[in-house]
Structure 1
Amino acid sequence: MKRFDCGTLVPGCTYHTEADSEAEIVRREIEHLRSAHGETEIRPEMVEHIKDRIVEVVPH
């Protein structure tokens, strides 16, 4: 399982998401950036920043 915390990209944001694939995490975060942060253009660098901040989580 993978996890992304938006606060690592947008300071102060508490949104996070977990999914089995990196692609699904990126899709969800882009949707969040558009709806919650008003981003209209998602640049390739932004996708790379998201990917760099995805972490593996160990199930409890």
Structure 2
Amino acid sequence: MRLFECGTLVPGCDWHTRADNDAEVVRRAVDHLRQTHGEAMIRETMVNNIKARIRDAAVEPAA
């Protein structure tokens, strides 16, 4: 599972997402940046910044 926390890119933002692969994480993050932060144009540098901040999420054991 992969994790992106928006606050690592936009200080003060608590939004985060988890997905099985980086492509889905990037898609969700770009959608979030457009809807929440008003980013009309997502440049390649922004996508690269998102990718650089994606990390493995800790897997929580099933109850």
Which band: TM-score by shorter chain? over 0.9
Structure index of larger Rg: 2
Any idea what SS the aligned residue of 2:3 has?
strand
1:18-60 CA distances to partner (integer Å, 9 max, x unpaired)? 0000000000000000000000000000000000000101312
TM-score (norm 2): 0.92
TM-score scaled to structure 1, two decimals? 0.97
> In the aligned structure 2, how far is the partner of 1:5 from the partner of 1:26?
11
Q: Which runs of at least 4 in structure 1 moved beyond 6 Å after TM superposition?
A: none
How many Å separate the matches in 2 of 1:11 and 1:2? 20
Residue in 2 aligned with 1:3? 3
Structure 2 unaligned residues grouped into runs of 5+: none
**Identity of paired residues, percent?**
55
Q: What is the identity, as a one-letter code, of the residue corresponding to 2:8? A: T
Q: Give me the CA root mean square deviation.
A: 0.6
